[in-house]
Amino acid sequence: MTIHHEHFRQPLQRTPFHDRLVALSKTEEWASWNSYKVPRVVDKLSSEYFAVRSGCAVMDLTPMEKYRITGTGARAYLDRLVTRDISALKPGRVTYVVWCNDDGKVIDDGTLFQLGEDDYRVCAQHHQLDWFLMSAAGFDVQIRTETHDVAALAVQGPTSYSVLTAAGIDGLDQLRPFGIANLKCGDVAVTVSRTGYTGDLGYEVWVEPGDALQVWDAIFAVQGHYDIVAMGLDALEMVRIEAGFIMPGFDFNTAESTVRDGYDRSPYEIGLDWVVSLDKGHFTGRKALLAEKSRPIKRRLTKLVVEGNKPVGEAYIFAGKKGKQIGEIKCAIWSPVLKANLALADIEYTNGHLPTDLWARFDYQRELKWRTAWAKCHAQSKPFYSAEHRSTTPPNRF
């Protein structure tokens, strides 16, 4: 895809779905994501949030960084790059991965798609081409950016399967979670993955930019039979926190962006132990992670339920209400579904253990007057929200 772009006239690029989003926008709340103009809120934050949890929400994923990795050495290269054992990955499947620098600190996370034999796609939050190319020395592999060459929609929510089927995409009934299928939407070729960032039933639809609007229109043509809502970044932030998903660069500092020593984080420190396979053989950062694994953990990004109904926002975490400061909240929301304050916090451990008496100290405003409050916090390891219908195959029809 060739982009004709006068940067001094239009500093942010437009995705293939931009005109449809402009037509739906009631707020004109826009943000920059990887040099693209995207909505923070399209219409109402509440309706976009509840569409994910009780209907169907559609979000433009085109700005996500996408890299195509091919060649006879692609599998060996990826196995060296990421911390996870990917030996079981097969064509038509997706897995979640992270990659680190030599010090075992996370550079980024993403999803790894095996599209075919020796053919992979990596989707990441941040620009990774430089790191990927440096890491490719000695491997028979080709790496190219395809961010602008592939348009994408996230179609998420309990009725997402029914909506896509009604839109003319057949063949989703046997697509399991983290599966990929090459299908048709009318006469348009699409790739559909049963993936998402919401913790609910959902799919991601990948299509050529020139065919993007035809797919969008097919989906929204069944509006009325189903409640379909275009979603922005703010609603995504709410549902991803409920699902316990982390955001590099927001919930923790990535290795490449950190200026001061000790401010970056390892997979163990952000709760991603489960994607580190120390027994798979050598990968970048393995030596440092082996050494870290042998020591008591010093800190961890921890899921917290905060008592009360006052928005926590930016807050410090203390060991006891009169104890010392041991951390800070990185992101927080009030969950409409769970009726609870949810947060992810970076917390220091004591002798390898999480302190038991956790309190948040935060400021809030009431009638233009700032007040300081304390709220007890309860740590948990499981996602705050987990939908049973998320993994049902075939999904329920509505």
Mean pLDDT by 10 residues, the chain (398 residues): 57 95 96 96 98 98 98 98 97 98 97 98 95 97 97 98 98 97 98 97 98 98 96 98 96 92 95 97 97 96 96 93 95 96 97 96 90 95 94 93
Residue 15 to residue 12: CA distance in whole angstroms: 10
Strand order in the sheet with 202-207: 180-185, 188-193, 202-207, 151-156, 56-60, 228-230
Residue 312 to residue 112: CA distance in whole angstroms: 34
pLDDT at 10: 72
pLDDT at 2: 54
Instruction: Enter the pTM of the model.
Output: 0.94
**Hey, what are 150's tokens?**
């592939």
Neighbouring residues of 294: CB distance < 8 A, sequence distance ≥ 6: none
Task: Enumerate the domain spans of the chain.
Answer: 18-62+150-231, 296-380
Q: How do strand 369-380 and strand 358-366 relate by DSSP bridges?
A: antiparallel
Neighbouring residues of 20: CB distance < 8 A, sequence distance ≥ 6: 213, 216, 217, 220, 230
Residue 275, SS3?
helix
pLDDT at 106: 98
Answer left, alpha or beta for residue 171, where phi above 0 means left and psi between -120 and 50 means alpha: left
pLDDT at 5: 53
pLDDT at 11: 83
pLDDT at 311: 84
| Structural domain 296-380, CATH architecture | Beta Barrel (2.40)
Residue 94 to residue 112: CA distance in whole angstroms: 6
pLDDT at 3: 53
Strands (E) located in 80-136:
93-100, 106-116, 119-124
Q: What DSSP character marks residue 269?
A: G
CB contact at 8 A, 109 and 95: no
Place of tokens 């006469």: 187
CB contact at 8 A, 24 and 230: yes
pLDDT at 8: 57
Angle between helical axes of 233-242 and 45-54 (0-180°, round to 10): 50
Residue 102 to residue 317: CA distance in whole angstroms: 31
Fold of 18-62+150-231: Gyrase A; domain 2 (3.30.1360)
CB atoms within 10 A of CB 223: 12
